Amino acid sequence: MESSRSLALIDANLNRSREGLRVLDDIARFLLADGPLCTQIKQLRHDLVTAEGSLKQVVPDLLHHRNVDADVGTAVSVDGEMSKSQVAEIAAANIRRVQEAMRSLEEFGKLHCTTFAEQTRQLRYRTYQIEQQLAQACDTTQRQRRARLESARVYVLITESLCRLPWKQTVAACITPGSILQLREKGLSAGELIRRSRWFVSACREAGCLAIINDRPDIAAIASADGVHLGQTDAAVADVRQLVTAPTLIGLSTHAPAQLTAAMQTTADYFGAGPVFSSGTKQFDKFAGLDYLRCVAQTADRPWFAIGGISIENVADVVAAGATRVAVCGAVIGTDAPGQAIADLAAALPAP
């Protein structure tokens, strides 16, 4: 009798987990339009089926232990259970439902199949990251940031040593509708970078322009930037998500098809693709070139920016390779008229 009841409990919690994950899948897919998050939830659903398969090798008749009529919990409800005013509340309720159900699966699974118990334990750990990502994706500010990212066409990297005009004047001139600015200063002390980042973020925010900090998630968090951009040798995207708990855009540079494939397994919000041509910001032994842009255009599942030596003289070749967005530095900040340079580049790109 006790064994049968514990198996009925396991069956019920498998149902709770599947139902909760389906709700989360629908939220990620239809309401948030968040492809990477949707992929993670779908994979979790698939792995739950795999774990259930381990249990069924020991208990092949699990379904026969279901007894809905005898379940006293079906008639119990609490105040507020049927009242939800925001998608975020529905997402939070269902991820917690999944976590609680998986905890029961782990504990009572030990009575029947230790492999199943261990598998559900590992699945539960994965839900904690998904919970954080759901909260971020549901956040209005983050959704607005992603919408602005999606519509952006020109992304400007600001490095004082490459500016023809004073750097603050350059930033002011680059803050144009639909642009993104990244502060890229490798040689500053932490204190100076914080001071500069705070001014930079404030200037961008007043004009409704996204402000990104290069390489330094800690500085991005301190300055309340819209995001941080990471290179291949910087901290992993997953680690940055844990470090920066506030909603934050994360960009990731890629230089080859294998890196792009790996990047699409992360929760990065956008990719950099290049270097296409030689540039003054970074030295490479080998350039990804236009062939890599063609690969990214066919493969990438989220916004991406072609980068590396792009200018008004060669942007047509970049567009022909499939790029619709570009990240530039010297071609804009190295001129006397950064705003006009941005406008010229934007006019050469496909309309959003």
Q: Is the pLDDT score of 328 beyond 60? A: yes
Contacts of residue 117, defined as CB under 8 A and 6 or more positions apart, other chains included, come to 105, 106, 107, 109, 110
Q: What is the pLDDT of residue 283?
A: 60
Q: Is the pLDDT score of 331 beyond 80? A: yes
In this structure, of 33-37, 91-95, 248-252, the range with the lowest mean pLDDT score is 33-37
Average pLDDT, the chain: 91
Q: What letter does residue 264 receive in the DSSP assignment?
A: T
Q: Is the pLDDT score of 261 beyond 90? A: yes
- Per-position DSSP letters for 216-233, written without gaps between them: -HHHHHHTT-SEEEE-TT
Q: What is the pLDDT of residue 76?
A: 47
Single-letter code of the amino acid located at 111 = L
Q: What is the pLDDT of residue 137?
A: 86
CA dihedral 114, 115, 120, 122 (to 10 degrees): 110
| pTM summary value | 0.75
Which of residues 137 and 270 earns the better pLDDT score?
270
Q: Report, in angstroms and rounded to the nearest whole number, the Rg of the chain calculated over CA atoms.
A: 24
State the CATH class of domain 2-138: mainly alpha
Question: What is the share, in percent, of the chain residues with pLDDT greater than 70?
Answer: 93
| Cβ atoms 303, 33 nearer than 8 A | no
| Cβ atoms 155, 144 nearer than 8 A | no
Stretch 269-287: mean pLDDT, rounded? 81
**Quick one: tokens of 42?**
């779908």
**Residue whose tokens read 């693709």:** 273
Q: How many residues does the chain have?
A: 352
Domain range annotation of the chain: 2-138, 141-348
Q: CATH for 141-348?
A: 3.20.20.70
Q: What is the pLDDT of residue 77?
A: 56
What distance in Å separates the CA atoms of residue 208 and residue 22, rounded to the nearest whole number?
36
What distance in Å separates the CA atoms of residue 215 and residue 200, rounded to the nearest whole number?
15
Taking only the tens place, the pLDDT of each residue in 298-322 is 999 999 999 999 999 999 999 999 9
CA dihedral 101, 106, 111, 113 (to 10 degrees): 120
In this structure, of 180-194, 196-210, 235-249, 306-320, the range with the lowest mean pLDDT score is 235-249
In this structure, of 31-40, 42-51, 124-133, 205-214, the range with the lowest mean pLDDT score is 31-40
Q: Is the pLDDT score of 63 beyond 90? A: no
Q: What letter does residue 307 receive in the DSSP assignment?
A: E
Stretch 190-201: mean pLDDT, rounded? 97
Which residue intervals of the chain are DSSP H helices? Answer: 2-26, 35-58, 87-109, 114-138, 140-151, 167-174, 190-206, 217-222, 237-243, 257-263, 289-299, 315-320, 330-333, 338-348
What distance in Å separates the CA atoms of residue 84 and residue 93, rounded to the nearest whole number?
9
